[in-house]
Each structure stands twice: as C-alpha cells, then as structure tokens.
A and B are shown apart, each in its own frame.
Chain A
C-alpha cells in the first residue's frame, strides 16, 4: 500500500511533471518529439534507472514507486511516459535474462540515461501474432547477422540500443543491436493519431553484424521468456500511465464542470454531467487500485502477478479511453482544440488500447486465468 515514502516520491514526481513536462506537452505533440532537455532532466533525476537495481547504478525501486512515476508522467504527457516505459522494458529484460557481461555493459549506462533503449517487435506483417516475427538472427560462430524490418518502434529514433525479437533458424531469439551498427537505417513515422512525440520510427536492419554475445537468453527462449518479460513490464507501465492520464482528464473535467456555467448554473449541477463525472471517478479509482494490486503481487513474486498486470493494463486503458472521451464531451468545443490537454489525451488513449497487447488480446487471455483459478477452487475429482 501507499506509505509515507511513496507519498513523498509521488509528490516529487508530480512537481517535476507539472513544472518540466505539462507546460511543454502540447509543443512536444506538435513538433513530434519530447525535448532533449526533458530527457536529460529525467536522466539527471536518476528516474530512467528507477526499474534498475542499485547494484547497476539504478534506483532499485519497488514496483509501486515505478508505477507512481509512470502515472505522474502519464498525467502530464503520455509520450514522455512512453520513453520511461520502453527504456525500462529493455533494461528490466537485460537485468532479468541478460548475461553478467550484458548487465555490466548496458545497465549502468541505461540507469544514468547515458544510453536510451527501445524494443523492436512489430513487423509489417506481424502485430498481435508476435510469434510470427520474421526478423532473421543468423548465428555464425561469435557473430550474428541480423536482417529485420521493424515497424512503429516507440522512441526508435532516439534509442542507442534496441532489443530485437526474431528467429535464429526456427528458434525464437532476442538480440541487442546498437543503432549505430552499419546496416541500421531509421525513418520517422509521422502523422500518428496519438503518442506523436514518442519519436516512433521504422527500423530496418540489413545483414547487421552483431556479436553473438548480444543474444539475450538462449535461442528458443526469445519469445516465451525474453519478449514475454519485456511485454509484461510494458503492460505494467502502460497501466499506470493510463491511470495518471485518466486522472488528469478527470481533474480537468471536475474543474471545468465546477466553473463553467450554462443555463444559469455550473455544469456540475446538471444531472447528465454528474453522471459522466461519477463514472469517471469510479473508473479511475478502480484502475488505480487494480494497478496497485498488480504492483504488490509483482513485488511478492506471486503466481497470478502476470494476470493481475494484464487486467490492470486492460482495465486502465479502457478507463483512460472512456475518461478522455467524456472529458472532451464535458469541455465541449474547447476540448476539441489543439493544445488542450484533454484533446491530446483523447488521441493518446486510443494508442493505449493497442500497444503491449491490444484489448482484444487481453480479452482472449484474461478469462483463461479465471477458468484455471475456478477449476482449482472446485477441487479435483
């Protein structure tokens, strides 16, 4: 649960986000990039290493603290929060499944933000069916030759190193590729509906020669353990980011409804607006509690943490989408104008229902956990 330390950290996260990010979020959105000064500020705070152990120069936070940071960044700017998400996804995966040499080489620079990481999974013909990736990771002794066409890599334009999911022969495999490797080309993806400042890039790799020592996990475990770990961490981060962004929409709506008068009374006195606000409040509260539960289960390494995290991401992304939509509705025309936070949140929210496993993939999967639990509760014949 949230204690004094967590409250103190949350207050620091919010102060930073309100001062350094929120006033600039519309500009980031319009220009298609989070300003380098913000990346530097996050790094200087040490927060890009929040999910990394102190042994490697990170903060060694518990899951709740990391979640609270995701929420406060998400409240201000989902694109900026996405930087923390993808960077931490890869850092966590290296710490989880990397070799001692990989940890020693990468984690200290990722913890300080000296290096930025991103995750390359999606391909032109591979989205939700992630096991069908075609990227070739051909192992030739001490060298791997990587040939891949990766799409929609969040912060792919900024990353110094990317974790690439592909195949070594028939075996799912994962490998770290530095983006200055000869054969790597990057192109910006422009005009996206949301996350416009997330420096999304298409990344092609043409027979890039990479040390075989960069393989993360053994071939065969690239999807079941490596990519699954990365995505699980991403779902946790996105869940909290949605909680914060939805709270931002809610607070803006409460303020607007209390101060905007129509028909001689504040909007908040009109019954249909009150209904919207009540649903928003209930949704945001439930998403936060579910995300807190996921954080607690992850800290305890509880069986079921995976399912709880999926449910948190699924629920929080839906709550964010509904809350952002209702926030625009309450704000009326002003909520449809460029540069208004709820307008940006409304566009960003749709992306959250797609990334790190679409709503439909979560719907297909979550019920399986319930069926399994109920089977166990009923006992066996």
Chain B
C-alpha cells in the first residue's frame, strides 16, 4: 500500500525525482530535462515502452489503461508526472 501524500507540491516533486531517475537510468542521459521530449530525442522502442508502463504501475500503484495511451502522456518527465497526478492524486512512490 502506498504511503499517504506528503502534500501536493512535495508529492509532485517526489514523483518527478522518481521518474527522472528511471528515465536517466533507462536512457543513459544525465542531462535529460524535465520538459525534454524523449520521443523527439529518438529514445523510444517497444522494450522501453513496456518497462515504462511497468515502472509507473509498480512505483505509483496504479494501472495504465487504454485511455491513457496518448503519446504526450509519456513524452517527458513533466508529462509522466502529470499523468501520475491525474490518475492517483498525490500518492507517494513506494
């Protein structure tokens, strides 16, 4: 069970940190900016796409659904954090 949120702004920052750490590890790019479009940068393949879904679901205790499958939802640290926020409010990472 995920912990209760520490607060909206703090939770958002925490989500972004977790997402950025995952993307930096997956994409091997320390300079990745929160607003950088990872698709335009040419990073994405099907293995990454699957691992990203697993990461989001496992870390934030939520399910990515059919209606979430919009490219922009997964295009940057900020967009992924916004998706997480919209689906789960302010759940903290595990």
Q: Enumerate chain A interface residues (CB-CB to B < 8 A).
A: 97-99, 216-218, 220-221, 223-225, 227-229, 232, 300-303, 305-306, 365, 368, 372, 375-376, 380-381
Contact between chains at A303 and B28 (CB < 8 Å): no
The residues of B that contact A375 with a CB separation of less than 8 Å are 25, 28
Instruction: Pick the contact of B66: A97, A302, A368 (CB < 8 A).
Output: A97
Of B2-10, B41-49, B85-93, the stretch lying at the interface with chain A is B41-49
Say yes or no: A365-B47 contact (C-beta < 8 A), given A303-B58, A372-B26.
Answer: yes
Question: When A and B form their complex, which 7 residue pairs have the shortest distance between CB atoms, in order from nearest?
Answer: A301-B58, A224-B49, A224-B46, A228-B46, A376-B25, A221-B69, A303-B55
Complex Cα gap A300–B57 (Å): 10
Chain A residues closer than 8 Å to B53, beta-carbon distance: 225
Task: Please tell me if the beta carbons of A306 and B70 are within 8 angstroms of each other in the complex.
Answer: no
CB distance from A155 to the nearest CB of B (A): 24
Q: Do the beta carbons of B49 and A301 come within 8 Å of each other?
A: no
Does B1 touch A at the CB level, under 8 Å? no
A306 CA to B28 CA, complexed, in Å: 19
A–B pairs, 11, beta carbons within 8 Å:
A217-B69, A218-B69, A220-B71, A224-B46, A224-B50, A225-B49, A301-B54, A301-B57, A302-B54, A305-B54, A306-B51
Interface size on B, residues (CB 8 A): 22
A172 to chain B, nearest CB (A): 9
Residues of A within 8 A of B50 (CB): 224-225, 228-229, 232, 306
Could you say which of B46, B51, B70, B71 contacts A303, with CB atoms under 8 Å apart? Answer: B51
Complex formed: what's the CA distance from A350 to B37 in Å? Answer: 43
Given A224-B49, A228-B46, A229-B50, 5 additional A-B pairs, CB 8 A: A99-B66, A225-B46, A302-B54, A302-B58, A365-B47
What is the bound-complex CA distance between A336 and B50, given in angstroms? 43
- How far is B70's CA from A223's CA once the two chains are assembled, in angstroms? 14
- Least distance between A363 CB and chain B CB atoms (Å): 14
| B66 lies within 8 A of A303 (CB) | no
Q: Which residue of B lies closest to A227 (CB)?
A: B46
| Closest Cβ neighbor of B48 among chain A residues | A224
Q: Which residue of B lies closest to A102 (CB)?
A: B66
* Chain A: minimal CB distance from B38 (Å): 13
Q: CA of A225 to CA of B47 in the docked complex: distance in angstroms?
A: 9
**Complex: how many Å from CA A233 to CA B44?**
21
In the bound complex, what is the Cα–Cα distance between A302 and B54 (angstroms)? 7
What residues of chain A lie closer than 8 Å to B28, measured between beta carbons?
372, 375
Q: How far is the CA of A220 from the CA of B72 in the complex (A)?
A: 12
A57 to chain B, nearest CB (A): 19
With A and B bound together, what is the CA distance between A381 and B57 in angstroms? 29
B13 within 8 A of A: no
- Write the chain A residue with the least CB distance to B22: A303
Compute how far the CA of A165 lies from the CA of B67 in the bound complex, rounded to whole angstroms: 19
Residues of B within 8 A of A232 (CB): 50
Chain B residues with CB below 8 A from A372, complex form = 25-26, 28
Q: Is B30 an interface residue (CB 8 A)?
A: yes
Establish whether residues A300 and B58, one from each chain, have CB atoms under 8 Å apart when the complex forms: yes
A97 to B63, CA, bound (A): 11
B24 nearest in chain A by CB position:
A380
Would you call A306 and B47 a contact (CB within 8 A)?
yes
Proximity string of chain B (9-28) to chain A, C-beta cutoff 8 Å, 1 when within and 0 when not: 00000000000001011101
Whole-angstrom distance from the CB of B47 to the nearest CB of chain A? 7
A47→B13 CA distance, assembly (Å)? 45
CB atoms of B69 and A306 under 8 A apart: no
Give the residues in chain B near A217, CB-CB below 8 Å: 66, 69
A380 to B54, CA, bound (A): 23
